[in-house]
A and B are shown apart, each in its own frame.
Chain A
Amino acid sequence: MSQTQPPPLRYIRYEPSREDEYVAAMRQLISKDLSEPYSIYVYRYFLYQWGDLCFMTVDDSRPEDPIVGVVVSKLEPHRGGPMRGYIAMLAVREEYRGRGIATKLVRMAIDAMIARDADEIALETEITNTAAMKLYERLGFLRSKRLHRYYLNGNSAYRLVLYLKEGVGSMRTSFDPYAAPADARLEMSGAAGVPAAPAPPPLLQGNGR
């Protein structure tokens, strides 16, 4: 069979000096794939602080639009405790799927986080996105909780977590369930990341709020 070889792909790390070019390509790729809409500042939030955890797949055979895959992540202490990596977005152009590109991108992100001493990695994925669930579970992620109607489209999600070191589960965090929910809404990996969600419950106390 003289089937044409699939074009060789390159994997590159995000480069801040090429923000305009890269972010535009990323936005196009991601807005097609993911149900959640993101503004330019969503990308900036991740890329300005953790651009080194962002990787792209490039297909040079299509110079007009070479970026065919992307992963966007962050890494910071979780509630003052373990260093938690977070995979925020992952997208691969439709016609490039099934070639292990997404797995390779996620592996690069994880490896970069490990190099930066991550203790654990977390992410959310839509329950209906079986391909993504399989991908992450193959890499050793476990479902830690199910998030009811997590996304704007009403779909539920699983939080998937991967521990990278022993003792992560017992690391102290500053989280106090009784504390006033001051900025809890902004905790993006918590359920409070959902639009207009009330702060996580100080458990169930008196009626009303």
Chain B
Amino acid sequence: MFPNSGASAPTMRVTSQSVVPRDITDEFTEAASKLSTGQLVKDEYFTLFEAVGALEIMDSKMDSGFLGPNENHAQALEDDYDITRELAPEEVVGIMDGLLCHEMAWHMGHPLSQTLFTSLYLDRLLWPVPNTLDEARFTRGSADGRNEEPALVNLVLRAYCMALVKCCDYVHARVAAEYYYEEEDFVTQLYNRNLLSPFDLDPFLDLLDRAAAWIEEQQDGINEEVRAAIKLRIEFRRDLLLGLYQDIDVIQNRSSDNFRACLSRLSDLAQSASIGKPVPESFSWKVQRRLASTVPPRPMVNISQDDALAHLKRLCQDGIDLQEILDYRGPHNFKVAVWTMLSRKPQPSVYIRSLLQTLIVNNALVLGVVPVRDFLYDELAELVLPTSILLQANTDQTEMPSNPRFQIAQHMDGFVKRFSQPFVDTFRSACLNRCRIRRTVCHTLVDWDNLQMEAEDLDEQLRTLSDEPPLILSNGDSTYSYPFSSWAYHQKLNQFRLILQLGFELSIYSPEELPGMYWYLSHICSTHLGHLDRIRTFTVATAKRNLTALAGKKRDAVERHAVLQKSLRLLERLSTQVVAVDAFAISLHALYVLLDRHHILPTASSPQAYSSERLRYELRMKPFLPITLPELVPYDDYRREALLEGDSDGAVLERATKAITEARKAWETTLANGAFSPDQPTPTTPAIEEDWKKDVKDTMRACIGTSLAIESLKKGLAMRNTSKGSSPDGPSVDLRVDIPEVGSKARFHDWWAVPQISHNTLRSKT
């Protein structure tokens, strides 16, 4: 279905000089009547495509100003609701909770017009746009605009509303400053209003304090329980306001006190919700008829209190847990922390993701302290250039242009300029929504392919300048390390894997594609393993050379030795993880090949489909077609490999069994290795480690599920061999295969589509 498109932000209508309207109704009508069916008179620069975006007036689905046939003018625009009326204390609780639900719905991505802006209280405060805080009152426009009675409304509820709007202001500002997708992640549209953004924090705190103090004094007037509920909500709002105000200052403050305080109040908030008496008439979707809006009218979004509180709880918890990524401990560990945190289910809210984006890099500083250049150098030193002179040269220290160190430094400057942003973006892309991560990585893959080629040129130039000794291969050929392009290739292979795994997560692949996609995943993994081996070979050679120096007990050599060993350990850690993925993929590949071979794999396409398998393969490889390395596997090779042509059932079963055993071992080792490389100073990160462990354990459960599936299949195949009644056309094996959907209980892990294989009990006897 074709999606609607909308127009851009509202502007003020400007009429520069006096205009005289002239009635042209009759002429226009007569002229139009002379047009033939289908004939258009239009601006030659205005295309029909643009016309698609036009909203049709008087159509209830498109015209936000449309009034139904039974609505009279006054009712349609204004609600009978009296904003200055007295409220029972229970109603104040109800309104506050209603507002909180709408606030969270906005956080979840719904527009203000369908959520908070439906509140008639907020509407009165925010429109017309107040010039001073004092103007933002419920009583504005009325004769006694200064009146604070009833205080429960004009002091307490107003304070809550004002602080809530300010909370939204902070959220809005953070999200709008970062990379997000309008409508997909968040709707920043303010409909020509503002969220009290010109005003500082303090007056809002004062309002809340005054409200809290007043409520405190009402021992006689208000029932104790209700009073406590109102006070709790004011205090909670104060904590949330401070938490959101802290924003990126968390880097300096390192405080999670406010979010912790919010979190600690949530259960009381939930329990006391029943005290509240909702005032649904104080919310109206009719407000949309008065908002500057270029989108069709949409119904008010109502989320339940439970859903709102659950979202709020995750927001606070994520706000607390992101403390754990703030201590810098090298690019590898940083990446694990960032990706683990952002892969939480459900995904952290857009506010948290935006905040993390800023924390990852802001003003060319990573986590507020590490210059992007150092960050990139740390990465290179960790992986491909431990102890290398290339990372030590600095243009400031050597000024002789003839000095190779100077030239190296110049080249390195160029490298940093070119590679910093794409490298940092491999972290920032984790902050996008999951669909966008995959789409973005499909694009960056092409960039990294180009970067790798550029890096190869750089490698050749620097090799001469740094006097790199060649590595002599066993056949006598010599080769060089190509550190920069090696590193770029490593990045690219990570991205290949991510695209495939997110493909499973987002349920992109149809069942009949699973054998091929798991084969391709294993193909990428084995390519990656070969590449990591190559990198390791050069590091080992450097370490060997260093041993000679080490024997001479030079201090430098001792330090170098430690750095080299560290790098080798990291390579080992990476290899273990890739082996684990590889083995699992090999096993699932083999398993699916057999399901396919025996026609028990469900299929989405019918025999009368328009596309052939070859065309479907081409479409599936689309993101990889423009990539030079690794080379595209030609369809015929793919088909041979992916179908394990020529291998007997027994051999394929054996392959699946062996691979899953290896996978289980490798995942156990991965788990034992822990989330983070211990070679970097490691602060305590209990929450992220917990997430990471859960992820690995879920993968291990998926491995066990695969073992069971293999066993079931083995039995099914054996039974078929002994039974004689199997028909030649239908499924020859009496098994039923279900592939649990992502998010279902039986799907142990999003990235691993493990089939459930069971015996067909309803066997047709006809």
> How far does the alpha carbon of A195 sit from the alpha carbon of B50 in the complex, in Å?
13
A20 and chain B: residue at smallest CB distance = B37
In the assembled complex, A154 has its CB within 8 A of some CB on chain B: yes
Among B4, B182, B606, find the residue whose CB has the most chain A CB atoms closer than 10 A: B4
A196 near B604 with CB under 8 A, answer no
Select A44's contact among B51, B434, B509, B614, beta carbons within 8 Å.
B51
B425 near A204 with CB under 8 A, answer yes
Query: Would you list which residues of chain A between 35 and 58 have a CB under 8 Å from chain B?
Result: 35-42, 44-45, 48-49
A145 near B435 with CB under 8 A, answer yes
> How far does the alpha carbon of A168 sit from the alpha carbon of B610 in the complex, in Å?
15
A162 near B610 with CB under 8 A, answer yes
- Looking at B407-415, B538-546, B615-623, the stretch in contact with chain A turns out to be B615-623
Known contacts A124-B1, A203-B440, A140 near B508 by CB under 8 Å: no
B616 near A207 with CB under 8 A, answer no
B37 near A195 with CB under 8 A, answer no
Query: Would you list which residues of chain B between 43 and 85 have a CB under 8 Å from chain A?
Result: 48-52, 54-56, 59, 61-62
B62 near A39 with CB under 8 A, answer yes
A49 near B48 with CB under 8 A, answer yes
Q: Mark A172-209, 1 if CB is under 8 A from B, else 0.
A: 00000100000001101001011111100101111111
Known contacts A41-B54, A137-B604, A146-B508, A152 near B4 by CB under 8 Å: yes
Residues of B within 8 A of A28 (CB): none
> How far does the alpha carbon of A153 sit from the alpha carbon of B4 in the complex, in Å?
11
Residues of A within 8 A of B604 (CB): 134, 137-138
A196 near B54 with CB under 8 A, answer no
Known contacts A36-B3, A139-B605, A204-B179, A144 near B435 by CB under 8 Å: no
B4 near A36 with CB under 8 A, answer yes
A35 near B1 with CB under 8 A, answer yes
B362 near A207 with CB under 8 A, answer yes
A144 near B181 with CB under 8 A, answer no
Known contacts A154-B109, A161-B619, A164-B610, A207 near B436 by CB under 8 Å: no
- Looking at B267-275, B294-302, B478-486, B751-759, the stretch in contact with chain A turns out to be B294-302
In the assembled complex, B506 has its CB within 8 A of some CB on chain A: yes
Known contacts A140-B610, A161-B619, A166-B614, A196 near B625 by CB under 8 Å: no
B4 near A40 with CB under 8 A, answer no
> How far does the alpha carbon of A195 sit from the alpha carbon of B53 in the complex, in Å?
9
A195 near B4 with CB under 8 A, answer yes
In the assembled complex, A31 has its CB within 8 A of some CB on chain B: yes
Query: Would you list which residues of chain B between 486 and 516 have a CB under 8 Å from chain A?
Result: 506-510, 513
Shortest Cβ gap from B636 to chain A (Å): 13
Residues of A within 8 A of B357 (CB): 207
A43 and chain B: residue at smallest CB distance = B52
In the assembled complex, A169 has its CB within 8 A of some CB on chain B: yes
A127 and chain B: residue at smallest CB distance = B507
In the assembled complex, A110 has its CB within 8 A of some CB on chain B: yes
B625 near A148 with CB under 8 A, answer no
> How far does the alpha carbon of A147 sit from the alpha carbon of B429 in the complex, in Å?
16
Among B181, B421, B444, find the residue whose CB has the most chain A CB atoms closer than 10 A: B181
Among B55, B358, B513, B609, find the residue whose CB has the most chain A CB atoms closer than 10 A: B609
The number of chain B residues with a CB under 8 A from chain A is 81
Residues of A within 8 A of B61 (CB): 31, 37
Residues of A within 8 A of B619 (CB): 142, 144, 161-163, 168-169
Q: Mark B413-440, 1 if CB is under 8 A from A, else 0.
A: 0000000011001001100011110111
> How far does the alpha carbon of A156 sit from the alpha carbon of B177 in the complex, in Å?
25
> How far does the alpha carbon of A203 sit from the alpha carbon of B183 in the complex, in Å?
18
> How far does the alpha carbon of A125 sit from the alpha carbon of B513 in the complex, in Å?
20
In the assembled complex, B184 has its CB within 8 A of some CB on chain A: yes
In the assembled complex, A116 has its CB within 8 A of some CB on chain B: no
B436 and chain A: residue at smallest CB distance = A148
> How far does the alpha carbon of A45 sit from the alpha carbon of B183 in the complex, in Å?
24
- Looking at B5-13, B335-343, B573-581, B727-735, the stretch in contact with chain A turns out to be B5-13
In the assembled complex, A11 has its CB within 8 A of some CB on chain B: no
Select A196's contact among B50, B294, B361, B422, beta carbons within 8 Å.
B294
Residues of A within 8 A of B38 (CB): 16-17, 19, 48
A196 near B110 with CB under 8 A, answer no
In the assembled complex, A78 has its CB within 8 A of some CB on chain B: no
Shortest Cβ gap from B609 to chain A (Å): 3
Shortest Cβ gap from A85 to chain B (Å): 11
> How far does the alpha carbon of A40 sit from the alpha carbon of B666 in the complex, in Å?
60
In the assembled complex, B146 has its CB within 8 A of some CB on chain A: no
> How far does the alpha carbon of A153 sit from the alpha carbon of B3 in the complex, in Å?
11
Residues of B within 8 A of A208 (CB): 177-178
Where the two chains meet, the residues of A that have a C-beta atom closer than 8 Å to any C-beta of B are 16-17, 19-20, 31, 34-42, 44-45, 48-49, 86, 88-90, 110, 123-126, 129, 134, 137-154, 156-158, 161-170, 177, 185-186, 188, 191, 193-198, 201, 203-209
16 CB-based A-B contacts, threshold 8 Å? A39-B56, A39-B62, A44-B40, A139-B605, A140-B615, A142-B611, A144-B622, A145-B506, A146-B438, A146-B508, A151-B4, A162-B615, A194-B4, A204-B179, A205-B425, A209-B179
Beyond the given A148-B434, A150-B184, A198-B181, please list 6 additional residue pairs across the A-B interface where CB-CB is below 8 A: A44-B40, A44-B51, A89-B1, A110-B610, A141-B611, A142-B619
